[in-house]
A = this chain, B = another copy of it.
Amino acid sequence: MYCLTEIEAAGSTFGNYFRVTTFGESHGGGVGCIVDGCPPRIPLSEADLQVDLDRRRPGQSRITTPRKETDTCRLYSGVSEGVTTGTPIHVFVPNTDQRGHKDSLMMSFCFQDYKEMSIAYRPSHADATYDMKYGVRAVQGGGRSSARETIGRVASGAIAKKILKHFSGTEVLAYVSQVHQVVLPDGSVYHDTVTLDQIESNIVRCPHPEYAEKMIAAIDAVRTRGDSIGGVVTCIVRNAPRGLGSPVFDKLEAELAKAVMSLPATKGFEFGSGFAGTFLTGSEHNDEFFTDEHGTIRTRTNRSGGIQGGISNGEIINMRVAFKPTATISKKQHTVTREKKEIELLARGRHDPCVVPRGISLDNGFPLLCCHLCKF
């Protein structure tokens, strides 16, 4: 009667009161999300979502995948006469016809016909574990592990941003702070003043022009070799509401960590002083309190990263997220098929040499989290 059985995945939902469910994979009719619990009377249009979807989509520049996807969204419910109605919002992005074809181009194997290709496990992809768990495998585009799933996240995050903007002055910005060996030095970006325009001023989305150049060069170098690289995204939250987060299991940093580590290709998360803080003593690390000129209790330093005891304290929340190098590369690799036969695999076609510049769309995540934790 009792045996070890993994409870089947219903893991496509995030949040309780602002509840997002994503659906879809690259080989079906489309992808998207349902947002349940959005407050009524928030102005919302398809154009609001499209801005963020465009920032996420592939094919934006030479350093991202050259695949072209238009990713045009439709709002099928929950909005009437330009405002939300409080009912579930259904966002749908159809898969375009060309896409299936291009995807099948993406993966072709030397010495293998299509049938065998469909059952080889790509190294460091989800192919093998999905097959273990579900006993099914769709080759085209990786099913739910496809980065295409994040379309639903970006769209719902865009809705959350509209809500945050409506109710508070909270601003969330993410930028690239490391690409492979190119590391932006601490303090070279001012978190008090950095702007979205500065971040968007170059294709790698690093607000420091000099380092941006170096990062782009690093991606170009690896792209021409058919290899890939990873990096780090820094994300900051200015004017976060004080008091977000709960004392025990649902600390704000715990919620942030879960949200971030649910993104494809992430390997690490830190906030405030992070791993580097372990090299300080308590007297070096503690953030002393003072009362500022407006009578607000503040901290002089911010090694706490805007969160103390699991609860936001009003200082800037900052976090860093490690993205591994893209697993798809244009180099021959050893692997096995579903039938456990060892083979050599060569993925031709197009891929992101570095996913980090697109990873900045995780700045949509904090608004999502904020709506999940707050009542508006």
Contacts and interface: CB of A to CB of B under 8 A. Distances in A.
A248 B8 contact: no
Contacts of A309: 125-127, 129-130, 145, 264
Contacts of A230: 277-278, 280, 285
Contact of A313 (B132, B243, B262, B284): B132
A80 B307 CA distance: 25
A111 interface: no
B12 A130 contact: no
Interface in A9-23: 9-19, 21-23
Contacts of A76: 23-24, 28-30, 92
A289 B123 contact: yes
A249 B334 CA distance: 30
Contact of A246 (B9, B232, B258): B9
Contacts of A297: 121, 128, 336, 340
Contacts of A299: 123
A136 B17 contact: no
Interface string A330-364: 01011110001110000000000000000000000
Contacts of A256: 261
A58 interface: no
Contacts of A85: 25, 134, 136, 138, 143
Contact of A267 (B145, B246, B273): B273
Contacts of A127: 309
How many copies of the shown chain assemble into the complex? 4
Contact of A88 (B6, B23, B134): B23
B262 A267 contact: no
A55 interface: no
A64 B7 CA distance: 40
B126 A247 contact: yes
B86 A8 contact: yes
Contact of A133 (B77, B243, B329): B243
Nearest to A140: B80
21 contacts: A5-B375, A7-B7, A9-B86, A9-B250, A10-B17, A10-B18, A16-B16, A21-B34, A21-B88, A23-B77, A23-B89, A29-B75, A124-B286, A130-B247, A180-B279, A227-B283, A282-B329, A285-B324, A286-B333, A289-B336, A291-B341
